[in-house]
Structure 1
Amino acid sequence: MGLGGSILQAEYTLIKRIVMVFFFSVTTPSGIALGIALSKAYKENSPAALITVGLLNASSAGLLIYMALVDLLAADFMGPKLQGSIKLQMKCYIAAFLGAGGMSLMAKWA
């Protein structure tokens, strides 16, 4: 989603956009094909597989947290409307912390 948005917002030439869109649209099907090809050799309880899955999960979670904090919340929290009102800032901080806590609680059950 982030890559698609970046491609649309960037002011690249038509050729660069076409190449980016091509690779953007080919990535998922090629990943699926690779997964199908490796499924017979994959042992889900082996130490190497557990470490790999753990590292991939941690890096994707870190990227999602970065996107949420830097790209989404920072723009809202640094806006002139929010900067002009301490009361509104406190409400937004409380809402953000409650939302993060709620998501953490749901992750604990999932």
Structure 2
Amino acid sequence: MAFFFAITTPFGIALGIALSTIYRNNSHSALVTVGLLNACSSGLLIYMALVDLLAADFMGPKIQGSVNLQIKCFIAALLGCGGMSLIAKWA
């Protein structure tokens, strides 16, 4: 992985420098491309958060045995999502 990172990082930097001369921030194709890449990234983040991380915690025997603990966990998750949404507003 270190070798792969060491090879791809300079390549990405060189590609970015080469494309910076022809890239226009407000062109239609640039805005669509950035929007699609942001949507893919956020979709992957939501999937990882909900399916891989939260599902394992919410399906544990301790939480499954207590309705009160389930409600508290859901409220905490919703407050966390709301807090992240507020932070994202200024990012």
- TM-score (structure 1 length as normaliser): 0.74
The runs of 5 or more residues in structure 1 that have no matched partner are 1-20
**Whole-angstrom CA distance in 2 between matches of 1:88 and 1:75:** 15
- TM-score (structure 2 length as normaliser): 0.88
**Whole-angstrom CA distance in 1 between matches of 2:68 and 2:6:** 45
- Which is worse superposed, 89-98 or 78-87? 78-87
CA distance 1:85–1:23, change in 2 (3 Å): same
What CA RMSD, in Å, does the superposition of the two structures yield over aligned residues?
A: 1.5
Match in the other structure for 2:59: 78
4+ runs deviating over 6 angstroms? none
Asked if 1:42 is matched to 2:23, the reply is yes
Aligned residues: 90
CA distance 1:63–1:48, change in 2 (3 Å): same
The CA deviation string for residues 44-66 of structure 1, in whole angstroms up to 9 with x for no partner, is 11111011001101110111111
The runs of 5 or more residues in structure 2 that have no matched partner are none
CA distance 1:79–1:29, change in 2 (3 Å): farther
Flag the structure with more relative contact order, 1 or 2, with Cα contacts below 8 A and sequence separation at least 6.
1
Match in the other structure for 2:37: 56
